[in-house]
Amino acid sequence: MPVALDPVPRPLDHLTEFGEAAAIALQLRGTALSWKDLRTRVGTLATWLQAQLPGPGARVASWAAKGELTCLLPLAAARAGMVHVPINPLLKRAQVAHILADSGAKLLIANAGRIGTLADGDVPPGCEIFEEGEELAWAGEFDPLPLSSADPDDIAAILYTSGSTGRPKGVVLSHANMWLGAVSVAHYLGLESDDVVLGVLPLSFDYGQNQLLSTWRAGGCVVPLDYLTPRDVVRACERHGVTTLAAVPPLWVQLLGQEWPERAVQGMRRLTNSGGALTVDMVRGLRGLFPTTRLFPMYGLTEAFRSTFLDPDLVDAHPTSMGQAIPFAEILVIDDEGAPTKSGEEGELVHCGPLVALGYWQDPERSAERFRPAPSASRSGGMAVWSGDRVTRDADGLLYFVGRRDTMIKSAGNRISPQEVEEAALATGLVVEAVALGVPDDRLGHAVHLVVRGRSGGNSDADALATLLRAELPNFMQPQVIRWLDAMPINPNGKIDRNALLDQAKSGITQ
C-alpha cells in the first residue's frame, strides 16, 4: 500500500517502525539487517553516542563510505538528541577541517585511511576521533535507547553544501524537514514495503540521504552501493532485484551505454533524476531502455530539500519540464518587483512551506540572503527559500528551468563554489589571479574551467599547479581545463570580466 500523505511530523528515528520485523531493511555487502536488527542497532548506537558526548545538540560527524555506520547514524544521532553532520567521502582534508571547525563537531567517525590524511590542526580541540567499526562493536554492549520524544522542530542534521561564494555552508535541517521529506517522496513515488531501492548517491547529499529515509518510511529495503564503474550499478540492479534507481544526469549517460539484462529491466518500477536536468535525448534513451518503468524527473535544493517533480505520464510530452510542486511544498515564481509572474514570464523560484530548512549554521548574513519572508502571495507564509534559479511556468502550471542568478557551478550533481576553487589556486602561490567557471558539458552538465594569470608569467608552472590542485581539491572540483593568460579582461567597472572569460571558454569548446 502506498504511503499515506500524513502532514504531521514525528521524531526522525521513528522511521525504524514501519517494516515487518523479519523483512530486510538494509542489504549491506556480505550481510543484511532485518527491520528487527535495524531497530536494535539504531537504539544501541544511540546509547553509545550518549555515553560519548556531553549532551543534547552535540554534533556528530561521519566521514566514511556507505555502510552500516553511515546508514544508521542519521537515525541514531536523532534518537540520542544529537545532530548528524555527514561529510562527503570524496572531500579532502582541507574541506573536512572547515566542516569540523564550522559545525563545532564533538565527534568524528571515519576509517583509518581518511583519519591518516588529517594534519595537525585539522581536528578542532574537544573533538574526539573514532575509527569506523569501533562504535558499532562497542554499541553492542549497551541496551537500546527507546524511541525519542524529540520536538520535530529540533535540529536533526547539518548538511554542508557549496554555494556561489566561499567555503561550504551548513544547511540546518529539523526532524520535521526530514520526516516530511521522507513522507512526501515515498508518497508521490508510490513506494511500498516490497520495494528495493539501490542507493548509489552520496549519503551526505539530501537526495542520497532521502533514499534511505523515504524507503524506510514505506517499510522497504535499501541497498547502498559505492560503485567503481557503471557496470557495477547494472549488476547490483540484477543481483538484488532493484525496483527503484535514482541518479544524476552524468551517471544516466553512462548507464545508457551499458548492456542491461532483461531481469534488471523488467523488475525496475521507477527511475528518478535530480542534480541537473535530463536532456531530450536522455529522456528518450531511458524511455527506450525501460519502456514500462515510470520516470520521475525532479528538481531540488538542499535549503528546501525537494521542490518539484514531473508526473511520469507527462514526461514524453514535456521532457524538459521540472514539473510541479511536490506534496508539502508551495512553489511560487516571483518577478523582480516581488509579484507572481504570469504564464510564460521568467522569475525566481521561491520555495515555501514546512520543507524549508532552518537556515545556515551560525551564518546569519548568508541566511538572510537566501532565507527571507515568503512573498505576500504565499499561502504558507513564514520563511521561504529564494533559490536564485530563474524559471518559467506555462499555462498548465508546469515549470521550466532557465538559468541561475549566481555563478555557482553544478557539475555531475555536485554544487561547486567558484570561489573555493579560486582560493585553492591562489593558495598555491603560483598564480596571482584565478577565475573558476562552469562551462556547459554534455557529460557533466557543467565542467569546471579555471582561468589563471601566473606569478612568473606564461604557463611554466602549469604542471605544478595541476598537481597541487589534485592534492587539495576533491575529484569533482578538479578543473577539466586550466587556461593561462598574460592579462585578465577587465569590465567597465574595473573588475575581471567573468562573462567575457565564459564566452571565450564556450567558444573554445565549439571551435
DSSP collapsed to 3 states, 257-322: CCCCCHHHHHCCCEEEECCCCCCHHHHHHHHHHCCCCEEEEEECCHHHCCCEECCHHHCCCCCCCC
Which residues of the chain have a pLDDT value below 70?
135-136, 138-139, 163-166, 404-406, 491-495, 509-511
| Nine-digit cell string for 480 | 577539466
State whether residue 160 is helix, strand or coil. Answer: strand
Distance CA 387, CA 404 (A): 9
Distance CA 99, CA 161 (A): 10
| Nine-digit cell string for 406 | 549566481
Distance CA 432, CA 455 (A): 6
Sequence-ordered strand ranges (E) for 162-243: 169-174, 196-199, 221-224
Q: What is the largest CA-CA distance in the chain?
A: 69
Distance CA 357, CA 429 (A): 38
Distance CA 445, CA 285 (A): 17
Dump pLDDT digits (tens) for 260-273: 999 999 999 999 99
Residue-level pLDDT at 511: 34
In this structure, the strands spanning 324-325 and 359-360 are unpaired
From the CB of residue 134, how many other CB atoms can be counted at a distance below 10 Å?
12
Residue-level pLDDT at 166: 61
Residue-level pLDDT at 136: 65
* Structural element, H or E, at residue 416: strand 414-416
Distance CA 203, CA 159 (A): 10
- Evaluated on CA atoms 324, 328, 330, 331, the torsion sign reads negative
State whether residue 325 is helix, strand or coil. Answer: strand
Q: Residues 6 or more apart from 285 whose CB is under 8 A from it?
A: 252, 256
Distance CA 408, CA 417 (A): 6
Q: Residues 6 or more apart from 11 whose CB is under 8 A from it?
A: 78, 79, 147, 148, 149, 150, 152, 175, 179
| Nine-digit cell string for 291 | 519502456
Residue-level pLDDT at 161: 87
Distance CA 12, CA 29 (A): 25
Distance CA 224, CA 203 (A): 9
At 447, the amino acid letter reads A
State whether residue 403 is helix, strand or coil. Answer: strand
Residue-level pLDDT at 7: 95
Q: Tell me, what DSSP letter sits at residue 156? A: E
* Structural element, H or E, at residue 506: helix 498-510
Residue-level pLDDT at 135: 66
Distance CA 313, CA 319 (A): 11
Residue 95: C-alpha distances to residues 74, 116, 444, 460 (Å): 21, 15, 22, 28
Dump pLDDT digits (tens) for 194-239: 999 999 999 999 999 999 999 999 999 999 999 999 999 999 999 9
Domains and CATH numbers, the chain: 33-150 (3.40.50.980), 409-510 (3.30.300.30)
Residue-level pLDDT at 405: 67
